[in-house]
């Protein structure tokens, strides 16, 4: 069943993680997973969990049964039965997690298939935090060989380690943390390729053919064991709530504010006068339209997108999807362009048959497209994930700009996992810069859900009118999406991204809900014709279009997002709470006369039903310390 969320973005039936301790090892338990395992206050493992992945890499969710927990001050014991169910798929496993007073931990699973199905993976996944990038480790292989290694600094396009049995990290104080895997052969991939902020150790090796037929009664038995060696650090405080933070506002410029745009609505309906007015207030740089040049409706879609872009005062970002008859398809586009007279910021040229833009396609496209919109960039890259760009590096020297898309839900779907991806988004920019010949980087589009499954082996099922499509996230109209969007803009802008395209204009994947259209499913907490909360984040940033992104000394991470902008001497700081706990923030370096406005549960109705009133509702900042409720966004304006 799909997960339902309230208007804040908190899932129905949410229970906070349970903090646990095993000597100097602290961690959180939630829904059968272990998270943020830390030794002496240093995160050593981000997550340990069991994954059941079907033949299309779909993750089959689990429910827990027969749960028991015995938690003491320095040790604990957990047992449960996890049942994974999807149509035609059944897999159960008994889980046991024991944390000992010496800091060791044993997580075992004993599973059995209850139906016949095809799987790509069943077993443990261990996520090592992205903060380990570039740091050394000791790798033990299945043949007992031990070799010195290091976590990749730049994002590794392929597996950095194979045939793993154990991996050991050494902390600054000398403590060695050994993570040992049993029951299968493991290997590691760099999940930053998909903006997961981790390196994932998983089974079974991808070199072994998949999918694999699973029959009723087939068993999977695995274990993950953590051991500490050497000097033992003092136990850190238990992980509870969000610690108070201090943010220092500075005037040093970091980078120009990137160009920000939206995508044309995928539902195909045109914009109403009210929608045009609301979208124009965002001061968008561009509107992205995707044109499949092999389709019959290219002219109609191109014309509609050009009219909408003109109406809201934006240029076009035209993503062209081109087949093997590249010249004929491009010449057909060139024949209709003079009638449409598009104002094009950039062309993004993609192949329907290759993961990244091949040299002959970009050469042909440049010849035909250049006369259609003088001054428009002709770029390419991939319409899929950064991993496709990283593994199939395009001819950057032939491109004016290089593009790839981002979404935070390739591997995990809970709020915390989505927040963690914000740490990895700028890492993709830094890695792309190492092989893109200094060309401007375009992250387009950025969506909450994947737009398609590039690894699927079967056609998607027919639409179910009682459920949201797989491309739609029920959190789109929630405060969580607004906070996450601010985090994404801050991460990518500070990394030096040239341009970003978010979501769509209207509809379930947009920034405004359409007034007309299908009835809203129960799991979509929205009202027809109203802006979503994330609209106001884009509007607050859009007010400073053409300005600068400034430095902000921020610590810690994963709890909040901060973006400070400056234009014409004015300064605006946007601050989001990325947690389900209240967050206390002390601001340093504020100018006299600062005013603020908060997007939170108390103002949500006004923000959605009377956006103009909400946007004008600034008041004097009550003090240097503020408390933000879950997923709230604070906007602070300071005069020149």
What length does the chain have? 640
Tell me the pLDDT tens digit for each residue of 5-43: 999 999 999 999 999 999 999 999 999 999 999 998 899
Tell whether the torsion through CA atoms of 596, 599, 605 and 608 is positive or negative: positive
Quote the strand ranges of 237-364, DSSP E: 245-256, 259-263, 286-292, 315-322, 344-351
* Residue range 244-267: mean pLDDT, rounded: 91
> Between 246 and 300, where is the model more confident?
300
Half-sphere exposure of 527 (CA within 13 A, CB side): 11
pLDDT band of 263, cuts 50, 70, 90: very high
Question: pLDDT tens, 569-623?
Answer: 999 999 999 999 999 999 999 999 999 999 999 999 999 999 999 999 999 998 8
Angle subtended at Cα 284 by Cα 278 and Cα 285, rounded to the nearest 5 degrees: 160
Q: Give the model confidence (pLDDT) of 102-124 as tens digits.
A: 999 999 999 999 999 999 999 99
Strand, helix or coil for residue 583: strand
Q: Return the percentage of the chain with pLDDT > 70, whole number.
A: 98
pLDDT reported for residue 554: 53
Confidence category of residue 168, pLDDT binned at 50, 70, 90:
very high
Residue 411: what pLDDT?
A: 93
Q: What is the pLDDT of residue 540?
A: 98
Name the band, by pLDDT with cuts 50, 70 and 90, for residue 516.
confident
- The predicted structure's pLDDT at residue 254: 79
Percentage with pLDDT > 90 across the chain:
88
pLDDT greater than 50 at residue 418:
yes
Give 18-229's CATH code, choosing from 2.70.98.10, 3.40.50.300, 3.30.565.10, 1.10.8.60.
2.70.98.10
Determine contact, residues 275/512, Cβ cutoff 8 Å: yes
Angle of helix 326-340 relative to helix 359-369, nearest 10 degrees, comes to 30
pLDDT digits (tens, 9 = 90+) for 273-290: 999 999 999 999 999 999
Residue with tokens 């500490």: 228
Q: What are the angstrom distances between the C-alpha of 360 and each of 316, 334, 401, 434?
A: 24, 18, 16, 23
**Strands 89-99 and 186-190: what pairing?**
unpaired
DSSP 590: P
Name residue, tokens 């002390």.
Answer: 586
Asked if the model's pLDDT at residue 403 lies above 90, the reply is yes
pLDDT in tens, 306-353: 999 999 999 999 999 999 999 999 999 999 999 999 999 999 999 999
Task: Answer whether residue 355 shows pLDDT above 50.
Answer: yes
Determine contact, residues 238/528, Cβ cutoff 8 Å: no
Per domain, the residue ranges of the chain are: 18-229, 245-249+550-638, 251-547
Token pair recorded at residue 104: 């060791």
- pLDDT tens-digit profile of 169-217? 999 999 999 999 999 999 999 999 999 999 999 999 999 999 999 999 9
pLDDT at 342: 95
Residue from 532, 584, 15 nearest 246 by CA: 584
Domain 251-547, CATH class in plain words: alpha beta
pLDDT at residue 556, rounded to an integer: 46
Q: At what angle do helices 479-494 and 533-542 cross, to 10 degrees?
A: 30
The secondary structure of 322-390 as a DSSP string is E-S-HHHHHHHHHHHHHHH---EEEEEEEESSSSS--HHHHHHHHHHHGGGSTT-EEEEEEEEEHHHHH
Contact 205, 185 (CB under 8 A): yes
The mean pLDDT of the chain is: 94
Query: In the prediction, which pLDDT does 519 show?
Result: 76
pLDDT of residue 237: 66
Which residues 6+ apart lie within 8 Å of 606 measured at CB?
A: 613, 614, 617
Instruction: Give the CATH superfamily of 245-249+550-638.
Output: Golgi alpha-mannosidase II (2.60.40.1180)
Distance, in Å, from the CA atom of 140 to the CA atom of 165, rounded to the nearest integer, reads: 6
Hey, which bits of 131-264 come out as E strands? 136-141, 146-150, 161-170, 176-182, 186-190, 198-202, 212-214, 219-229, 245-256, 259-263
- Please, which pLDDT band fits residue 463 given cuts at 50, 70 and 90? confident
The whole-number average pLDDT for the span 509-528 is 85
Cis peptide before 294 (omega within 30 of 0): no
> pTM for the full model?
0.95
pLDDT of 103 reads 95
Q: Which residue has the higher pLDDT, 520 or 137?
A: 137
Is the CB of residue 372 less than 8 Å from the CB of residue 344? yes
pLDDT band at 256 (very low <50, low <70, confident <90, very high): very high
Residue 179 and residue 188 in contact, taking contact as beta carbons nearer than 8 Å: no
Cβ-based burial of 260 (10 A; exposed 0-12, middle 13-18, buried ≥19): buried
Give, for 432, the enclosing helix (H) or strand (E).
helix 415-433
pLDDT tier at 555 (50, 70, 90 boundaries)?
Answer: very low
Which residues, 6+ apart, have CB-to-CB distance to 331 below 8 Å? 368
pLDDT at 458 over 70: no
User: Coil, strand or helix: which one is 195?
Assistant: coil
Write down the pLDDT at residue 255.
Answer: 86
């Amino acid at each position: 069943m799909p997960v339902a969320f309230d208007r804040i973005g908190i899932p129905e039936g949410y229970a906070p993680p349970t903090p646990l301790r095993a000597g100097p090892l602290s961690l959180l338990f939630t829904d059968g997973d272990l998270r943020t395992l830390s030794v002496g206050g240093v995160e050593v493992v981000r997550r340990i969990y069991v994954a059941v992945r079907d033949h299309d890499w779909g993750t089959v969710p689990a429910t827990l049964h027969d749960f028991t927990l015995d938690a003491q001050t320095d040790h604990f014991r957990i047992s449960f039965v996890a049942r994974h169910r999807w149509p035609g798929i059944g897999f159960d496993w008994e889980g046991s997690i024991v944390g000992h007073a010496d800091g060791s931990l044993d997580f075992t699973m004993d599973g059995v298939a209850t139906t016949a199905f095809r799987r790509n993976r069943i077993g443990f996944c261990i996520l090592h935090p992205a903060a380990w990038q570039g740091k050394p480790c000791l790798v033990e292989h299945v043949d007992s060989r031990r070799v010195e290694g290091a976590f990749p600094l730049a994002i590794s396009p392929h597996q950095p380690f194979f045939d793993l049995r154990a991996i050991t990290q050494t902390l600054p104080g000398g403590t060695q943390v050994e993570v040992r895997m049993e029951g299968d052969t493991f290997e590691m991939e760099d999940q930053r390729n998909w903006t997961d902020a981790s390196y994932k150790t998983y089974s079974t090796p991808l070199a072994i053919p998949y999918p694999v037929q699973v029959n009723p009664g087939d068993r999977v038995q695995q274990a993950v064991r953590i051991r500490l060696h050497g000097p033992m650090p003092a136990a850190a405080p238990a992980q509870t709530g969000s610690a108070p933070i201090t943010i220092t506002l500075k005037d040093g410029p970091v980078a120009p504010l990137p160009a920000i745009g939206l995508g044309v609505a995928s539902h195909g309906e045109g914009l109403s006068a009210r929608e045009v007015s609301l979208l124009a207030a965002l001061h968008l740089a561009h509107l992205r339209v995707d044109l499949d040049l092999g389709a019959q409706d290219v002219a109609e879609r191109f014309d509609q997108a050009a009219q909408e872009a003109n109406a809201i005062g934006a240029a076009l970002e035209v993503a062209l999807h081109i087949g093997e008859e590249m010249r004929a398809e491009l010449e057909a586009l060139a024949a209709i362009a003079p009638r449409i007279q598009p104002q094009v910021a950039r062309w993004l040229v993609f192949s329907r048959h290759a993961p990244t833009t091949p040299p002959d396609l970009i050469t042909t496209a440049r010849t035909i497209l250049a006369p259609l919109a003088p001054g428009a960039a002709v770029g390419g890259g991939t319409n899929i994930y950064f991993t496709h760009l990283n593994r199939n590096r395009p001819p950057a020297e032939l491109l004016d700009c290089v593009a790839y898309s981002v979404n935070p839900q390739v591997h995990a779907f809970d709020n915390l996992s989505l927040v963690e991806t914000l740490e990895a988004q700028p890492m993709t920019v830094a890695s792309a810069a190492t092989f893109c010949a200094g060309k401007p980087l375009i992250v387009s589009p950025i969506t909450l859900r994947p737009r398609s499954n590039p690894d699927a082996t079967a056609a998607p099922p027919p639409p179910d009118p009682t459920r949201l499509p797989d491309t739609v996230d029920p959190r789109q109209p929630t405060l969580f999406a607004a906070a996450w969007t601010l985090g994404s803009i801050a991460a990518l802008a500070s990394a030096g991204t040239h341009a970003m395209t978010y979501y769509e204009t209207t509809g379930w994947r947009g920034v405004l809900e359409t007034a007309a259209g299908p009835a809203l499913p129960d799991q979509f907490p929205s009202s027809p014709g109203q802006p979503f909360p994330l609209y106001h984040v884009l509007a607050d940033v859009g007010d400073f279009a053409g300005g600068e992104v400034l430095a902000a000394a921020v610590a810690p991470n994963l709890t909040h997002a901060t973006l400070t902008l400056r234009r014409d001497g004015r300064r605006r700081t946007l601050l989001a709470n990325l947690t389900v706990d209240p967050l206390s923030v002390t601001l340093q370096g504020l100018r006299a006369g600062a005013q603020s406005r908060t997007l939170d549960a108390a103002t949500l109705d006004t923000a959605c039903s009377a956006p103009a009133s909400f946007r004008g509702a600034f008041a004097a900042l009550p003090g240097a310390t503020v408390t933000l409720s879950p997923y709230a966004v604070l906007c602070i304006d300071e005069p020149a």
